[in-house]
Amino acid sequence: MYALLAPANVDKNWMTIAPWIAQAIEGSRVAQDLEQIKTRAMNGSMQIWVGAMPKSKNVSLVLVTEAILIDEVPMLVLRMLAGVDIDECLPDMAMIENWATNKGFHSLQIWGRKGWERKLKPLGFRHEYTILSKVLDKGLH
């Protein structure tokens, strides 16, 4: 079960959730990205969802979503996910879908690794396009 962390509570919970987010963005410029994610979560443009396994009060999953516009159409993008027993938490996606619907988002997209397609196809997600990226070095030489 996920719970949406209110923007006002991001800072006081940051030490607990930051390691999970760092795990999800492993391989990128983690320190810079973590500060940007924290700032955007505190201003509401990103949302941080926390989850715990049944019978546990400890955070065992962190999900980061982002509200974006594509061609003036509001989309909610699942950007990062890290945790334990993630497969058991996937059915709870309906809670996030309901939240997104109630907030007026047109669709929920997932920007992530290829493995998401296999895991989320049973929940109604389909492949639409692929995003390729390359981390650039320190700029011009």
CATH code of the domain in which 93 resides:
3.40.630.30
Answer yes or no: is 139 within a domain: no
Residue 140 pLDDT: 58
pLDDT less than 70: residues of the chain: 27-32, 53-56, 86, 88-91, 133-141
pLDDT at position 47: 96
The reply to whether 93 falls in a domain is yes
Residue 22 lies in domain: 2-123
Comparing CA positions, the residue from 74, 26, 27, 67 lying closest to residue 47 is 67
82 in a structural domain: yes
Q: Is residue 39 part of a domain?
A: yes
Query: Is the pTM here over 0.85, yes or no?
Result: no
Total domains, the chain = 1
Q: Is residue 136 part of a domain?
A: no
Q: Is residue 130 part of a domain?
A: no
Q: What is the pLDDT of residues 39-76, one digit of tens each?
A: 999 999 999 998 876 666 777 788 899 999 989 989 99
